[in-house]
Amino acid sequence: MDKKVFIFTVFLFLFGIAFGQEPDSSNVIYLPAQVIDGDTIIVANLNPVTIGVPAKKFEHSWEEKQYWKLVYNIRKVLPYAKMARVKLDEMNAHFLTLDNERQKKQYAKKVEQEIRDQFEEQLKALTVTQGKLLIKLIYRETGNVSYDLVKEFRGGLSAMFWQTFARIFGLNLKTKYDPAGDDFLMEEIVVAIENGMI
């Protein structure tokens, strides 16, 4: 028998055995799928992948100094913004278990006091620049401006008071985050920090 014919025959034999066997249910993975025009297509959400940030090139040393100062400031306040998101999620989940507005206000005051006890000294030590960054990053993490969060949990009067107080220091609790526009560099730095690239 010709060597090529023999290999082809063995291949067909093995191919037939492989497809003739019953599948081992312990190795079966079920995925959501959708049939479109007779084709079965797997439907899956993939996590975003960051390929990397090209090394920054600076024309002047003062630009590089400003960049690394921004990196330092973002590193300092990013954990607080992430903690704000976690606390907000916890509060919203707990609010669903409460019966009325009075209980919600009492719970919000309790959480506020816990945050004050744990973080007040660190937050007081932030610079105005870091405060501005924190307001933007809270918006990035929660999808809400800080003013609306205060208004939702502490009431409109309290929100107006804190907005007025913030304005004295050059801050604005209504500041939004624009990762595709004014805050592009900031977003690039945050993503790099989150992915351990800087």
Average predicted confidence (pLDDT) for the chain: 80
Helix/strand/coil for 101:
helix
Phi then psi for 190, rounded to 5 degrees?
A: -60, -45
Band (51; pLDDT cuts 50, 70, 90): low
Q: Report the pLDDT value the prediction gives residue 56, as an integer from 0 to 100.
A: 79
Residue with tokens 């959501």: 32
175 vs 138: CA distance, rounded Å: 10
Q: Report the pLDDT value the prediction gives residue 153, as an integer from 0 to 100.
A: 72
- Position 171 pLDDT exceeds 90: no
Band (28; pLDDT cuts 50, 70, 90): low
What DSSP state is assigned to residue 26? Answer: G
Contact in structure between 134 and 77 (CB atoms under 8 Å):
yes
- Positive or negative, the CA dihedral 28, 34, 40, 44 is negative
Band (58; pLDDT cuts 50, 70, 90): confident
What DSSP state is assigned to residue 25? Answer: G
Tell me if the pTM is above 0.75: no
- Position 25 pLDDT exceeds 50: yes
Band (54; pLDDT cuts 50, 70, 90): low
Contacts for 81 with CB less than 8 Å, ≥ 6 apart: 134, 137, 138, 140, 141
172 vs 158: CA distance, rounded Å: 15
The closest alpha carbon to 91, from 122, 74, 70, 112, belongs to: 112
Straight-line distance from the first to the last Cα atom of the chain, in angstroms, rounded to the nearest whole number: 64
Contact in structure between 135 and 123 (CB atoms under 8 Å):
no
